[in-house]
Amino acid sequence: MAGIKDVAREAGVSPSTVSNVLNGKTNMSPKTRELVLSVCDRLGYEPNMIGKSLKVGSNKTIMFSFSDFERKFYLSIIRGISEYVKTKDYDLIICTNKSLEKFMNKAFTNGCIMLDRRCPDSFLLKKAEKNYPIVVMDRIMDVPNIKSVVVNNYAAERDLVQGLVECGYKKFAFIGGFESEDNRERFKAFKDVLDENHIPFKKEHYYDGDYTKKSGYQMARLILLSDHRPDVVVCANDEMALGVIKAFQENGVKIPEDIAVCGFDDTETARMMGVTTVDVPNFERGYLAAQYLLELIEGGTNFDPFLITTNVKWRSTTKHP
Amino acid sequence: MAGIKDVAREAGVSPSTVSNVLNGKTNMSPKTRELVLSVCDRLGYEPNMIGKSLKVGSNKTIMFSFSDFERKFYLSIIRGISEYVKTKDYDLIICTNKSLEKFMNKAFTNGCIMLDRRCPDSFLLKKAEKNYPIVVMDRIMDVPNIKSVVVNNYAAERDLVQGLVECGYKKFAFIGGFESEDNRERFKAFKDVLDENHIPFKKEHYYDGDYTKKSGYQMARLILLSDHRPDVVVCANDEMALGVIKAFQENGVKIPEDIAVCGFDDTETARMMGVTTVDVPNFERGYLAAQYLLELIEGGTNFDPFLITTNVKWRSTTKHP
DNA sequence: TTGTAAGCGTTATCAA
DNA sequence: TTGATAACGCTTACAA
């Protein structure tokens, strides 16, 4: 690997001149510039970004961390981040495992968008205290250097359930995901709307899923065995709703005539299957997260959580309000 | 940000001693070690990986590059890479846009897995000549320092089409994706099997899609307008097959009774919709790609392309052979 | 217009 | 058991 010194020696100039040429400075004669450029080309010189980063102190790079590979919409989020970052001439590195200690470091990246729920708050707080800017998605942390960008789960689920009530549904079942802020909010909205409408809901009609299709399938079978048949099953996400639909189809339960089903996320499969659900604008959330992160990096100090609004998509697995 | 020197000063030792402690060396007294460790903790010291990388010359990191955000199975590939890399104590960075020049650099990453079709061969060849190890997916490049890990499209599509022939289908239509090695191979297999079975296929029964669901939908409408109704539509991927299915459903065409449909990829939606397709083991391909890359990095010299085998999944959008 | 030299944060060598 | 020093590849004052 040719280094800047090799180029300098070969061109008969000093390393600083090579550096200047390569960084678009104009304080050299045209012929020196040409010469340097041609030597770079001939030697196939590529600047060592590590050396440069060390010297310059920042490398205009942000990082995104996630760890759930079952969610296609993560790709949309990535696309959103990627698009915004490009406009600002920053680079993006995405990281999936425990390399955080290495990459969440001022020396390596200027900031981070965190979507990995396995990364504990305490870790993020530690980084934030060191002035490392972070945007967290799907969780709320209201401290300096951390900005939350979260889906307004509560409002979205409220809209959905209120619509179902207006359709005339009276007997509800809810399939929850694993313990998380998302799930708590979605369930709370569900419960609140039922309460406001004086529709009773018993604990035993809450079924414990884990956001996977399989768990939805299993819970649906339990529902079919129970003596209290709901007329609508509200699922905390689309994957579980798809599992429910599969179980219902296998057991000859007509959707929505016998039992209606709805989800949350508006995944591609849900769309294709005509599932009533809540559309979360994922590209936009990625884009916004990146935008906020760069604002923090450039010195912004607005750390108020940002809520993303959503829309209910009424499709064929429920009546329409 | 506290640096190694700050720690050294605070602990009353030299930077080298701090470095030694932090790198697990044992050439110091236990009490010095303890002291250093406690100071590190108190100051919240984190090693600057850039400084370290510059000194050490390598940072045990590989990179993965992609750019198509419409394919959920990319997440499976990433998971495969991520899993393998973890076992070898390497880090993975994923990169989506034009940051390649920066990251595909010996100083930054030790090697790269390339799945971005927009990255030209010429660029990769240039890197390979500089001894930068690369694993390319979905394209074949048979030169030193580049290993190809590709799906055996030809064999897979042959199996599928041969099965269709055995089902008794006689009038075929093919919807191709955009111009690419994948598409060429899939179509060649399709055509070869028909030829071998003396089943005629005219150019006008090849429809030009672009791998999107929308294009499948549009082509399906064209097919319905044509005077030659096929009894099976073979699509170069699942997305297009889903588009076809949508169009057929809207027009009252029964699948598979009136016209059968099949795809390629075994996406989640295809699975859910019962589409006959070819299952590509994506997790495994990522895993293997990572494995081969690390082999190259450690000095391996087996650059022969590796073909990944696949299985046909017979489902309800076609008869079964 | 060009070159010299210091320094970014670390580790390795070697001497104490 | 410790520390001084050089070096990794680059940029940037500042000097020439």
For A196-205, the pLDDT digits (tens) are 999 999 999 9
Q: Regarding the domain delimited by A153-280, which CATH topology (the fold level of the hierarchy) does it fall under?
A: Rossmann fold (3.40.50)
Mutate to test the interface with B, among A99, A109, A250 (most CBs of B within 10 A): A99
- Give the closest-approach CA distance of A195 to chain B in angstroms: 35
For residues A76-105, give the mean pLDDT: 90
pLDDT along chain B (321 residues), means of 10: 90 93 91 93 91 88 92 92 93 87 87 94 93 94 96 96 97 95 95 98 96 96 94 97 96 97 94 95 96 94 95 96 90
DSSP secondary structure string, B53-96?
HHHHS--SEEEEE---TT-THHHHHHHHHHHHHHHTT-EEEEE-
For B55-83, the pLDDT digits (tens) are 988 878 999 999 988 888 899 999 999 99
pLDDT of residue A58: 80
SS3 call for A139: coil
Chain mean pLDDT for chain A: 94
d(CA B276, CA B77): 22
Contact B222, B194 (CB under 8 A): no
Q: Which residues, 6 or more positions from A192, have their beta carbon under 8 angstroms from its beta carbon?
A: A158
**Closest among A241, A234, A191 to A215, alpha carbons compared:** A241
SS3 call for A231: coil
- On strand C, nucleotides with any atom < 7 Å from a protein CB are 1-5, 7-13
d(CA B284, CA B297): 20
Mutate to test the interface with A, among B49, B50, B212 (most CBs of A within 10 A): B50
Residue A2 confidence (pLDDT) above 90: no
Q: Which residues, 6 or more positions from B248, have their beta carbon under 8 angstroms from its beta carbon?
A: B220, B224, B254, B255, B258, B259, B261
Q: What is the percent of chain A where pLDDT is above 90?
A: 82
List of chain A residues whose C-beta atoms are within 8 Å of the C-beta of residue B249: none
List of chain A residues whose C-beta atoms are within 8 Å of the C-beta of residue B102: 49, 91
Check residues 5 to 64 of chain A and report those whose beta carbon is under 7 Å from nucleic acid strand D. Answer: 5, 15-16, 19-20, 22-23, 47-48, 50-52, 54-56
Helices (H), chain B: 4-11, 15-22, 30-43, 49-56, 73-87, 100-103, 121-129, 153-167, 181-196, 213-225, 238-250, 268-273, 282-297
Domain range annotation of chain A: 1-45, 153-280
List of chain B residues whose C-beta atoms are within 8 Å of the C-beta of residue A85: 97
| Phi, psi of B73, rounded to the nearest 5 degrees | -65, -15
Question: What is the pTM (predicted TM-score) of this model?
Answer: 0.88
**Model confidence band, residue A98 (pLDDT cutoffs 50, 70, 90):** confident
pLDDT of residue B281: 95
Residue A302 confidence (pLDDT) above 80: yes
d(CA A81, CA A62): 10
Contact B22, B47 (CB under 8 A): yes
Q: Regarding the domain delimited by B1-45, which CATH topology (the fold level of the hierarchy) does it fall under?
A: 434 Repressor (Amino-terminal Domain) (1.10.260)
Distance between the two ends of chain B, CA-based, in angstroms? 67
SS3 call for A28: coil
Instruction: Please name the helix (run of DSSP H) or strand (run of DSSP E) that holds residue A175, with its range, or none.
Output: strand A172-176
For A54-83, the pLDDT digits (tens) are 998 887 899 999 998 888 889 999 999 999
Distance between the two ends of chain A, CA-based, in angstroms? 67
The string over B91-115, giving b where at least 16 C-beta atoms fall within 10 Å of a residue's C-beta and e elsewhere, is bbbbbbbebbebbbbbbbbbbbbbb
Contact B94, A94 (CB under 8 A): yes
Quickly give A20 CA vs D11 C1' distance in Å.
Answer: 9
- Give the closest-approach CA distance of A63 to chain B in angstroms: 9
pLDDT of residue A186: 97
Q: What is the percent of chain A where pLDDT is above 70?
A: 100
